Amino acid sequence: MRSIKKALLVIGIFLGTQLSFAQQEEVRFDKNFSHVVYFWLKNPDSTEDRQAFESSLKKFLNNSKYAGTKFIGVPAETPRDVVDNSYTYSLILTFPSKEIQNKYQKEAAHLTFIEESEDLWKRVQVYDSVGLK
């Protein structure tokens, strides 16, 4: 009887750990406010510029107090008339509200990223959206 209890306890701890790990891996897309940014680097073929941009962007996202979903992408090279593959990087962030996104705009991590990286890009295009209720 005692060994069955120990086995059940071990199984319970294992399953609890696995569930906790799975929850940490889950990425939640907050449908309240999305902030989509496209960057065109001045020198997109420069490995040095790309590394500098990616490093600054990742540092910013790791330190942002407000950004929810944090997706960094590059063009998927899907050649269709309606697809623009001309950008160098995309960034998708989500927020629980417009008010929180406004705080993000002024946070130190975001402002530092802009200061560090603005000389690397020639164009930035932003699309902000609020979710339908």
Distance CA 85, CA 75 (A): 5
Average of per-residue pLDDT values in the chain:
85
Q: Which domain holds residue 108?
A: 33-130
Task: Give the type of residue at 15.
Answer: L
The mean pLDDT of 11-37, rounded to a whole number, is 60
Domain assignment of residue 98, yes or no = yes
- The structural domain count of the chain equals 1
pLDDT of residue 35 exceeding 80, the answer is yes
C-alpha distances (whole Å) from 18 to each of 3, 26, 77, 78 are 22, 12, 36, 37
pLDDT digit string, tens, across residues 116-130: 999 999 999 999 999
pLDDT of residue 96 exceeding 90, the answer is yes
**pLDDT for position 62:** 95
Dmax over CA atoms of the chain, in Å, equals: 71
CATH number at residue 119: 3.30.70.100
Domain assignment of residue 106, yes or no = yes
Q: Which residue has the higher pLDDT, 9 or 1?
A: 1
